[in-house]
Amino acid sequence: MKRASIDIGSNSVLLLAIEFDEKNNCILKEYLNESTITSLGKDLDKNKTFLDHTMFATFEALRNYKKLLEKNGFSITEVIVTATEASRVANNAKEFFNKVFNELGFKIQVINGKGEAYYTALGVITSLKTSDEKSIVVMDIGGASTELIKIHFNPFRIEESISMPIGSVRASDWAKEGSEVLDLKFNEIFKNDLSSFRTDTLVCVAGSMTALASMYLGHKVYDDQKIEGLEIPFNTFKDFARDLQNTSIENLLLLFPFLGKRAPMLGSGSKIAVEIGKILEIKKMKISTRGLRYGTVFTGGIHEQFIN
């Protein structure tokens, strides 16, 4: 059967459309796997509302996705559409999502932090067929929040999770206010006790980390298949992140044209990753290109306990 999901994040809007095998609980075919940078969560801490131009960009991304879905025979009313941290904070989120529903037909469900962790975790394990470990720790750096999720295998369950109000877009906005503001925010957020998430290998998902992984390999063109399962020694990543944070946006775009609108956020994203890696005392990072949209499309819907 056909299933599709859309993840409206603080930085990007992601679409996944598949043919799903219910009997064997697996993907038979991917029709669409799209990503559009809209920066919906830009300046959210300052304004507490979505900006007009980021709502326009998000609306246009959804309009384009509707055309692609209909062209491939998907019913718009059955598409699972979720929104995360930025939409939990913005005062005008409900008004914007009503407009999307009335004009495009997408029903958007804002999910809570536990739901974000659950479906992200479920999405990640769909690519991990077997594991020698009893559990893994996942880091999901979004635009406005970062989740740490400890997942137990056989049976699948989330042992523990935490959602922190820091992400690549938020941290980039703080950086524009000066290094003192950025350091203050980092110190405030990372005073949480994260010792229970300590691990040798940190599984990393979402756009910032997958883009950083592609840059780490020196790619000019982004390709999911080339970075899925990539392992990066943490000491090497720290050196890479330091160099990245000292590189101008213009140079980043020359070196890595695929970054596009994501480029300004990656320095802050790498800073978050390094800080968390230090706190968790990790030795290496492992990249997963799957996440929230895979988890929701596998389940075929959102459980009411996860609706914000």
For the chain, domains (ranges, CATH) are 2-112+292-306 (3.30.420.40), 127-287 (3.30.420.150)
Q: What's the pLDDT score for residue 24?
A: 79
> Would you tell me how many other CB atoms lie within 10 Å of the CB of residue 53?
11
The strand ranges marked E within 130-272 are 135-141, 146-152, 157-164, 201-205, 231-233
pLDDT at 43: 85
Q: What pTM was estimated for this model as a whole?
A: 0.84
User: Exposure pattern of 221-252 as b/e (b: 16+ CB <10 Å)?
Assistant: ebeeeebeebebebeebeebbeebeeeeeeeb
Structure tokens at 284: 């290496």
Q: What is the pLDDT of residue 192?
A: 85
What is the DSSP-derived secondary structure letter of residue 283? S
Q: Which stretches in the chain have pLDDT values below 50?
A: none
d(CA 308, CA 295): 17
**What pLDDT does 307 receive?**
87
pLDDT digits (tens, 9 = 90+) for 230-289: 999 999 999 999 999 999 999 999 999 989 888 888 999 999 999 999 999 999 999 998
Q: What is the pLDDT of residue 131?
A: 55
What pLDDT shows up at residue 135?
Answer: 84
Q: Please report the pLDDT score of residue 10 as a whole number.
A: 86
